[in-house]
Amino acid sequence: MKKSTWQDNGIINRYRDMLPLKASTPVVSLGEGSTPLVYSSWLSKSIGEGSEVYIKCEGLNPTGSFKDRGMTVAISKAVERHVRLVVCASTGNTSAAAAAYAAHAGISCAVLLPYGKIATGKLLQAFLYGAKIISLHGNFDDALSIVRQLSKDPKVEIVNSINPLRIEGQKTAAFEVVDELGEAPDFHFLPIGNAGNITAYWRGYREYFTCGKCSILPKMIGFQALGAAPLVFGHIVQDPDTIASAIRIGNPASWRLAASALNQSHGFVDAVTDMEILSAQVQLARKEGIFVEPASAASIAGLLKCVSKHSELPIIRRLKEGARIVCTVTGHGLKDLNTPAGTGMCPIESDATVDSVRNILEIG
């Protein structure tokens, strides 16, 4: 029997029968998935009597974001098809994941990134994993449009979520939620950027529902940053702008699919301000010990906004009446070290003596 290794815990080996892969498809895995679903007593109390809020911590994936779930499937298929070059446009996390999985597979990777708009940690990841980094004088939407044109070349494999294999891999996060809770939640909150992830979760829940693994389907609730909220406004945003650089997108590729996920699930999409995002980021760190990047905090900011500002809507009343809620936080806080939430950071200096430290701690 093959010796068990940690790679065996990746999402392909866990959910292979639910993925469009042959038995012979090679597995390129870094052990992604199986991320923590953390019960939040702070958020549960904030919502109301009997409600349960869980946080799906996708920053605990190998490259620090949910993108690894889709990338293991996309790169495995690329290897099966003997592709030598994978390419993506990115606001940072997709490029980090693509570069890492391509490195692991021994194939080349090129990433198109909006110039000056990528969090340092993500840029460093792509660089160290050995990707060719193209810094584009344009935004993410421009980069994706170029990538779409490159996709006509059979020598190149696009690993953005316009590649359906990415969505296939990402749907496994919904499987994990149901496997752990024993049922789908009543509500699922998540940030929306290019709109692939909400599409993927909805597909995952529906597939599990169809094969009897859950008996309800959640309402999908998406949040965009106010300066980059095309789904909320119903039109393309030409110059998207938000502190949450990962979701600074004005023309999401999976717009239509996300809209149907929102409709079919009887959910909705709304926007949160940068201030609300940053406040949620800090509160989540202080109250639960979970450090996420700003874009990820949009789901938490959204939940808090629903409770404080929309509390009279019937859907929100339902949310407060003992509902089970999952919020996905999509990326790790260490990726984006320039977030304004850090500007107040001020360590207390001390002499290297126990008395000085005692004084500071006010323990005599």
Question: Considering the complex, what minimum distance in angstroms separates the CB of residue 310 from ligand F0G?
Answer: 22
Q: Is 22 exposed, middle or buried (0-12, 13-18, 19+ CB in 10 A)?
A: exposed
Look at the block and give the residue holding tokens 């080349």.
108
Task: Select 51 or 202, whichever has its Cβ closest to ligand F0G.
Answer: 202
Question: Considering the complex, what minimum distance in angstroms separates the CB of residue 76 from ligand F0G?
Answer: 19
Look at the block and give the residue holding tokens 């808090």.
304
Question: Considering the complex, what minimum distance in angstroms separates the CB of residue 191 from ligand F0G?
Answer: 4
Q: What is the DSSP string of 11-36?
A: HHHHHGGGSS--TT-----S------
Kind of pairing between the strands at 187-191 and 219-225: parallel
Question: Considering the complex, what minimum distance in angstroms separates the CB of residue 231 from ligand F0G?
Answer: 10
Look at the block and give the residue holding tokens 């012979």.
24
Task: Select 90 or 125, whichever has its Cβ closest to ligand F0G.
Answer: 90
Task: Select 52 or 64, whichever has its Cβ closest to ligand F0G.
Answer: 64
Task: Select 79 or 123, whichever has its Cβ closest to ligand F0G.
Answer: 123
List interacting residues with ligand F0G (CB under 6 A).
65, 67, 90-94, 161, 191-197, 246-247, 293, 295-296, 330-331
Question: Considering the complex, what minimum distance in angstroms separates the CB of residue 192 from ligand F0G?
Answer: 5
Task: Select 294 or 323, whichever has its Cβ closest to ligand F0G.
Answer: 294
Task: Select 89 or 323, whichever has its Cβ closest to ligand F0G.
Answer: 89
Task: Select 10 or 191, whichever has its Cβ closest to ligand F0G.
Answer: 191
Task: Select 107 or 246, whichever has its Cβ closest to ligand F0G.
Answer: 246
* Contacting residues for 94 by C-beta, under 8 A, at least 6 apart: 67, 71, 88, 111, 159, 160, 161
Question: Considering the complex, what minimum distance in angstroms separates the CB of residue 128 from ligand F0G?
Answer: 17
Spatial distance between the Cα atoms of 155 and 170, rounded to a whole number of angstroms: 25
Question: Considering the complex, what minimum distance in angstroms separates the CB of residue 88 from ligand F0G?
Answer: 7
* Contacting residues for 57 by C-beta, under 8 A, at least 6 apart: 35, 36, 37, 38, 290, 292, 329
Structure-token pair, residue 236: 């393309």
* Contacting residues for 210 by C-beta, under 8 A, at least 6 apart: none
Rounded to 5 degrees, what are φ and ψ at 209?
-65, -45
Question: Considering the complex, what minimum distance in angstroms separates the CB of residue 71 from ligand F0G?
Answer: 11
Other beta carbons within 10 angstroms of residue 225's beta carbon come to 30
Question: Considering the complex, what minimum distance in angstroms separates the CB of residue 184 from ligand F0G?
Answer: 20
Q: Is 159 exposed, middle or buried (0-12, 13-18, 19+ CB in 10 A)?
A: buried
Task: Select 51 or 224, whichever has its Cβ closest to ligand F0G.
Answer: 224
The CB-side HSE value for 259 (13 A sphere, CA atoms) comes to 12
